[in-house]
Amino acid sequence: MRLSAKDWEAAVTQEEFCRRWNLFIRRNDVLIVYHQRTYDLLRPLEALPPRCLILKSVFGKWQSGFRSLEELIVAEGLKLRILSSASIASS
């Protein structure tokens, strides 16, 4: 990634990240990441919701039979909230 020291100047501590993350995540949220390593980076922080879907494992070779995220959502029985023009990330 070639990050410099300047890139880290605005970084928060691990404790502050966990505090903010836990305020952001809701109890029944499902974290969706593309790669297992993303989840692995967050897991030691103990700041994750109980469920996680890893898209690369689902869509990697299409062996799962799912051709879209919508098909996966239906198969998992997830209910999506319809948001206005803003996402929860911006609220």
pLDDT > 60? residue 60: no
pTM to 2 decimal places: 0.53
* Tens digit of each residue's pLDDT (9 = 90 or more) over 12-48: 998 898 888 888 888 788 888 878 888 888 877 777 6
Q: How far, in Å, CA of 14 to CA of 18, rounded?
A: 6
CA atoms lying within 13 Å on the CB side of residue 5:
0
Strand duo 51-54 + 30-33: pairing: parallel
Residue-range domain boundaries for the chain: 54-79
